[in-house]
Structure 1
Amino acid sequence: MTTNAQVAAGPLQGRVALVAGATRGTGRAIAVELGRAGATVYCTGRSGEGHRSEMDRPETIEETAQLVARAGGQGIAVRVDHLVPEQVEALVAKIDAEQGRLDILINDIWGGDHLGEWDIPMWKHSLERGTRLLRLAIDTHIITAHHAFPLLTRTPGGLVVELTDGTTDHNATRYRADNVYYDLAKASVNRLAFAWSKELLPYGGTSVAVTPGWIRSEAMLEHFGVTEENWRDGTERDPHFAISESPAYIGRAVASLASDPERARWTGRSLTSAELAEEYGFTDADGSRPDCWRYLVEVQEKGLPADTTGYR
């Protein structure tokens, strides 16, 4: 079992990671925790110094790389549009030239929040915005894997983590956000992780899908008008916000998984941050272990009053 202290001791020293989509939220937190474990982390995204993506948010990959360095790793920022194969190909060539290896690929590219039109029939949703969402959520992951896998498989034991929203089982029985594009995007990423597990098997590679729960990303905190320090005030707006988790939780989940020499036992699986916390013994930033997906099914979907007793 890997504890927080063991992760901080540097079990990933000498390992090279690519966090594709490291500008903010889950990607940033994962990059930081991989760095805390000693890894060299390439932090990519479209928002760099002097450049903003179509999401028009202030966070940058350079800030993420600096946070990785402060945590004890080496952070390298590279501005990349993962929809452009030539840019991804150049990124992997840079990693190869500078490091000669790639041990961990985190496929966390998203950038589609502003494109979804919620709770309306598919035929009333903008087709242009919907297909753009799918390209950002799925095509980017395939393009990145296509160019990264030759380097990843050069050294046996590589790890691929596909970040998504919801487990395979949960998404199979629900229509996510009442939006066909979002629903397809998140279900497809789970399927990609399963497909990669088959393709990487002959090379000793491991592939999993991992989902956080209700994550307190920068955008989510802004939506609730709170900060990470006073986030519980957000429960006045939605009492179920009490089950939310900080980005550090998913970061620790992925770092613990990457540090596990027996991680191949997970390959092909769809996992939650809470499942990995139970297995590896880490906690969220506040010392708790929120289990959002179990809470969602057993409390929120049943219309019960918000009560996180037994769920964090």
Structure 2
Amino acid sequence: MTAQGALTGRIALVAGATRGASRAIAVELGAAGATVYVTGRTTREHVSEVGRATETIEETAELVTAAGGKGIAVPTDHLEREQVEALIERIDQAHGRLDILVNGVWGGDYLWVGDGGLDRKLWEADLDAGLRMLRLGVVTHLITHRYALPLLTRHPGGLVVEVTDGTAEYMRKYRGQMYFDLAKYAPIRMAFGLGRELADLGCTAVCLSPGWLRSEAMLDTYLKVTEENWRDAVEQEPGFCISESPAFVGRSVTALATDPEVARWNGQSLSSGQLAREYGFTDVDGTQPDGWGFVMAAEAGEEPREEDYRLTPRR
């Protein structure tokens, strides 16, 4: 587990930290002592198009501070370049550096769920919804990198983490809907390209995917369970047995951020389960779930058992 205070003095920006993986990443960076700027569109005064008023960036910032870091909430629409530019200028003026950039902006699930799920062909899907998905999941990332990377590359050792849903190995298959497929594969290519562009500046870029994440929306909207009784959903979704808490992917990022040899991962697509085995951290229940390994085995026609993909490290 990452030592408390290991990131003291480090400045992080977690873009899109209202909920889910990015919120947990922000909290875990805070637990390691970092100052974490958290951004998003849902605040206590304004709810984004996603429509989830129960999670806000102010709450995320408070969780970061409670964990031991310093959380700073900055309302930001990452499609608005002026807002992103102002955000980076604020970080620059306050600290003169940016050490960690986690780009987890998304917010597009409601678009494919409301458009027939993943069953519509390209020419059947709603064009406006599809293009909005790409703006939320791809264009936001490009705009954020455009303004944040000049600050991050000012000092060697900077780390960029692109967050997506699916590893490069898994993405060899078609995700079933063109816009969704493109939105989820783009961060892998961004990390690959940024790895090339950042290497000579002493910085590192990776793409990271959680497994089957027990996010707020997955629990309360899709499966109607809570973190406390999530196993009740396994009957309706057998693969959910291999799910992981958001903290697990958060611990993946802190492991990367505290690794003096993190450049060995430059340009690669990584998963939380893979990094847990490498660095030795566990999920909140003390196990190391390999979500993508389990899913790929199931899709290959095997009958994977949870115990074979949810390891318990020896003490």
- TM-score class, shorter-chain normalisation, is over 0.9
Give the corresponding residue for 1:110.
106
Following superposition, the deviation at residue 79 of structure 1 comes to 0.3
Instruction: State the SS of the aligned residue for 1:283.
Output: coil
- What is the one-letter code of the residue matched to 1:309? E
Distance in 1, matches of 2:102 and 2:269, equals: 14
1:101 equivalent to 2:101? Answer: no
Q: Which runs of 4+ in 1 moved over 4 A?
A: 303-306
2:35 matches 1:40: yes
Counterpart of 2:49 (choices 40, 51, 54) is 54
1:244 is matched with 243
- Matches of 1:165 and 1:296, distance apart in 2: 13
User: Distance between the aligned counterparts of 1:247 and 1:241, measured in 2?
Assistant: 14
Correspondent of 1:85 among 55, 77, 81? 81
State which drifts further: 36-45 or 112-121: 112-121
Distance in 2, Cα, partners of 1:258 & 1:179: 34
Deviations 1:62-101 (A, max 9, x none): 0000000010000000000000000000000000111111
1:98-139 residue CA offsets vs partner (Å, 9 max, x unmatched): 111100000000010011132111111000000000011000
1:210 aligns with 2:205: no
Which residue does the alignment assign to 1:23? Answer: 18
Structure 2: which amino acid aligns with 1:33?
Answer: E
Q: Secondary structure at the match of 2:309?
A: coil
Deviations 1:182-228 (Å, cap 9, x if unpaired)? Answer: 10111111000011111111210000000000000000001211110
Q: Is the 8 A contact 2:170 2:296 kept in 1?
A: no
Maintained 8 Å contact 2:26/2:250: yes
CA distance in 2, matches of 1:287, 1:228: 15
Number of aligned pairs? 304
Superposition deviation, residue 291 in structure 1:
0.4
Q: Secondary structure at the match of 1:122?
A: coil
1:120 corresponding residue in structure 2: 120
Note the C-alpha offset of 1:305.
4.8
Q: Is the 8 A contact 1:239 1:306 kept in 2?
A: no
How far has the Cα of 1:309 moved from its partner? 1.9
Paired AA for residue 148 in structure 1: A
C-alpha separation in 2, matches of 1:25 and 1:228: 13
Q: Which secondary structure does the structure 1 equivalent of 2:37 belong to?
A: strand
Q: Alignment identity in percent?
A: 58
List gaps (5 residues or longer) in structure 1.
none
- TM-aligned CA deviation for residue 10 of structure 1: 1.3
- Which whole-Å CA distance do the structure 1 matches of 2:156 and 2:207 have between them? 20
SS at the partner of 2:284? coil
Once structures 1 and 2 are overlaid, which stretch shifts more, 113-122 or 159-168?
A: 113-122
Distance in 2 (CA, whole Å) between partners of 1:85 and 1:21 is 15
Q: Which residue of 1 aligns with 2:313?
A: none
Matched, 1:254 2:253: yes
- Give distance in 2, aligned partners of 1:21 and 1:138: 13
Partner of residue 187, structure 2: 189
Q: 1:202/1:302 Cα in 2 relative to 1: closer, same or farther (>3 Å)?
A: closer
Partner Cα distance (2:44, 2:119) in 1: 36
Q: Distance in 1 between matches of 2:302 and 2:266?
A: 35
TM (norm. structure 1) is 0.96
SS in 1 for 2:46: coil
Task: List alignment gaps of at least 5 residues for structure 2.
Answer: 311-315
- Maintained 8 Å contact 1:240/1:306: no
Q: Aligned Cα RMSD in Å?
A: 1.0
CA distance in 2, matches of 1:73, 1:245: 24
Supply the AA of the counterpart residue of 1:136.
Answer: L
What is the CA–CA distance in structure 2 between the aligned matches of 1:305 and 1:277, rounded to whole Å?
Answer: 23
